[in-house]
Chain A
Amino acid sequence: MESPRFLSRTDLLGLAVLAVLLVVILPLSLDVFRLNLVAKYLTYAFVAIGLVLCWGFGGILSLGQGVFFGLGGYCMAMYLKLEASSVENTKIQSTPGIPDFMDWNQITQIPWFWQPFHSLTITVIAILVVPAVFAFLIGAAMFKRRVGGVYFAIITQAIAAIMTILIIGQQGYTGGINGITDLRTLKGWDIRPDHAKVVLYFVEVAFLFGAILLALFVRHSKLGRILVAMREKEDRVRFSGYSVANFKIFAFCLAAMFAAVGGAMFTLNVGFMSPSFVGIVPSIEMVIYTAVGGRLSIFGAIYGTLLVNFAKTSLSESFPQLWLFGLGALFIAVVLIFPNGLAGIWRDYVQPLFDKLISKRKPGSDPTGGKSFGPVADGAPAE
């Protein structure tokens, strides 16, 4: 049996390396524009961590994470928009005091579901609760009836489609295809200048570490083990007396909350929210970030997200045509050749090399070569 403590030596090492990279190396080496770009990428890393929990460990592939990302993002954007639409700021409109896109769509009153977002406290609660409730409803309806796998993926995808059509169609309430733009201040603190971007970057990194710790805790707890067991042999777990549906619902809700926090940080960092981050295409791209990093590795997912997005930005800047070919090839290569992504390459090729070097220097010091700390059931899902 492994000891109950949830931070193993490899996890601590991983945290330290990531902390050095995100807190020291990147802020010192990048200008504010690039750092803000990293902040944008890291918002997807929240989604990727959630997907490691529910897809990698739980075997539940959700193609609707964009919905939760969007819910979190829109909650934040509604609060910021209301703050930006004070009577003085909007006095040239026909109805001052309401968001500009509502004015353009001949809506004269702030609709009821916008009202709670006058308060920052309620907004923060909503960012966490709204996606969780939504995920609970979907999860309960599906998992209680033992719908899973492919069918779950298709239905979450349909929900992503519904969400986008709804947001674009209800222009007066949601800003339509342009989304909610022109966001200015958070409690009077201007989010647009450079120093605010830097502060927001560090806040986001702090949240990210919180998310990583929570995910590691879940991974090493009994819950995480049950999730993995469920992925491998669902019926056996059910026959052992566990409520498979409840564990799945929990994992799905947790992943949704991670995605929503990412979405809220996205709105703060980038300064707008639009339906182009909600639909089917972004949702599937979020899955590929996780897959590239390694669907079984929390740290891998973060590096995967950063790497794919860096590649996307630099490739699509210089060769816009090549990017889609490259992304498509990446999907195929990851599935066919590296089902465990970067983390799998690391574990299979790089780490053994290190272990060999270490054991050469200190012969016989550790017969397992540090492997006893490695993830226990992290085999490839079904080879």
Chain B
Amino acid sequence: MFGEYSIGDLGAIFAMQGFAGLILFSVYVLMALGLAIIFGQMGVINMAHGEFMILGAYVTWMTSNFFQSYLPSLFAGYFFIAMILAFIASGALGMLVEWGLIRHLYKRPLDTLLATWGLSLILQQAYRSIFGAREVGVELPQWMLGSKQVTDTIEIPINGMFVMALTVLITAAVSYVLFWSRWGRQVRAVVQNRVMAGAVGINTEKIDRYTFGLGCGIAGIAGSAFTMIGSTGPTSGQLYIVDTFLVVVFGGAASLFGTIASAFSISQAQSTMEFFMSGSMAKVLTLLAIVAILMVRPQGLFALKVRK
């Protein structure tokens, strides 16, 4: 299958596909970061995570419409405001869901899967009723369009670079919050030993609520970033949820670094193979490889060593 390409061609193909893979990587990382916090830290399976992402996308879409009609002079910067709004909207909904649903189910992880699946159906239908069944696209500001020519054969779109810069920023922020801030220490304390953490004066219920909210809020940002590269419909979230869970599990559920590494390898494998065969076969092979590796190494690539 490589026969008909010269070495130079192959280099360019890998570079181009590699870059396309990097955009997919960014979406995976942004979605998986939120999921890794919720699943890895709290042990909750949030099947509605995709719908939180789509909420962020719809918020971005509404913001862009608002700016277009009322503040056209500021349109170039709407995206930054949209992202903050997306974070707040998804995070607030997440905290509401934690209060109404998740906190009753902490001891039954498999049941959180069913309950949040029900929630995702409700959210999907709500989006359909409010925004219509058709997919909507966001208009990008002028400075995000176009691309940068690197060499004769390699061309990098600006919105792709923006998404990646955003991913780096968010990842750095999340790891700072979780590993260095006072609040992050409390989160990790609650995860390791809930009773003891409560005994030393940490309000575990509050920590749970904010952790879940943070995870959902990051999903909202992922949705916001998602609008730059694709259109949004009521069921778009469902397309990504299985992939994202595999990313988290493959990386090792409690390890943020593992999540990033697995998102990278999965997105690169998928996008490189897509050039040589149909997209569906590339997807099948990627998923099969992940499942096979997980069977050999069920704890994922980067598992924390813990006693059970």
Q: Which A residues have a C-beta under 8 Å from some C-beta of B? A: 61, 63, 141-142, 145-147, 149-151, 153-155, 157-159, 161-162, 165-166, 168-169, 280-281, 284, 287-288, 291, 321, 324-325, 327-332, 334-336, 339, 381-382
Task: Give 5 A-B pairs besides A61-B113, A145-B295 with Cβ atoms closer than 8 angstroms.
Answer: A61-B110, A153-B113, A158-B246, A284-B114, A328-B125
- B101 at interface (Cβ–Cβ under 8 A)? yes
Interface pair A325/B122, CB less than 8 Å apart? yes
From B105, B125, B290, give the contact of A158 (CB < 8 A). Answer: B290
- B12 at interface (Cβ–Cβ under 8 A)? no
Q: Which B residues have a C-beta under 8 Å from some C-beta of A? A: 43, 45, 101, 104-105, 107-111, 113-115, 117-122, 124-126, 128-129, 238, 242, 245-246, 249, 278, 280-281, 283-284, 287-288, 290-291, 294-295, 298
With A154-B249, A158-B290, A335-B105 as contacts: A291 and B114 at CB distance below 8 Å: yes
A168–B19 Cα distance when bound, in Å, is 28
Which residue of A is nearest B287, CB measured?
Answer: A162
A150–B291 Cα distance when bound, in Å, is 14
Interface pair A335/B111, CB less than 8 Å apart? yes
* Residues of the B chain whose Cβ atoms lie less than 8 Å from the Cβ of A331: 114-115, 117-119, 121
* Residues of the B chain whose Cβ atoms lie less than 8 Å from the Cβ of A281: 238
A330–B119 Cα distance when bound, in Å, is 10
Interface pair B118/A328, CB less than 8 Å apart? yes
Interface pair A168/B280, CB less than 8 Å apart? yes
* Residues of the A chain whose Cβ atoms lie less than 8 Å from the Cβ of B294: 147, 151, 155
With A142-B295, A149-B110 as contacts: A335 and B242 at CB distance below 8 Å: no
* Residues of the B chain whose Cβ atoms lie less than 8 Å from the Cβ of A288: 114
Interface pair B283/A165, CB less than 8 Å apart? yes
Interface pair A332/B119, CB less than 8 Å apart? yes
From B43, B115, B280, B281, give the contact of A336 (CB < 8 A). Answer: B115
From A61, A166, A327, A382, give the contact of B121 (CB < 8 A). Answer: A327
Which residue of B is nearest A169, CB measured?
Answer: B280
16 A-B residue contacts at CB 8 Å?
A63-B113, A142-B295, A142-B298, A147-B294, A150-B109, A151-B298, A155-B249, A162-B284, A162-B287, A165-B280, A169-B284, A281-B238, A321-B129, A335-B105, A335-B118, A336-B104
A334–B101 Cα distance when bound, in Å, is 12
A146–B105 Cα distance when bound, in Å, is 24
From B115, B238, B291, B298, give the contact of A145 (CB < 8 A). Answer: B298
A92–B249 Cα distance when bound, in Å, is 51
Least CB distance from A163 to B in Å reads 9
Interface pair B291/A155, CB less than 8 Å apart? yes
With A154-B249, A155-B294, A158-B290 as contacts: A324 and B125 at CB distance below 8 Å: yes
Interface pair A141/B122, CB less than 8 Å apart? no
A328–B101 Cα distance when bound, in Å, is 13
A155–B245 Cα distance when bound, in Å, is 9
* Residues of the B chain whose Cβ atoms lie less than 8 Å from the Cβ of A165: 280, 283-284, 287
Interface pair B249/A327, CB less than 8 Å apart? no
Interface pair A335/B114, CB less than 8 Å apart? yes
From A155, A157, A330, A339, give the contact of B111 (CB < 8 A). Answer: A339
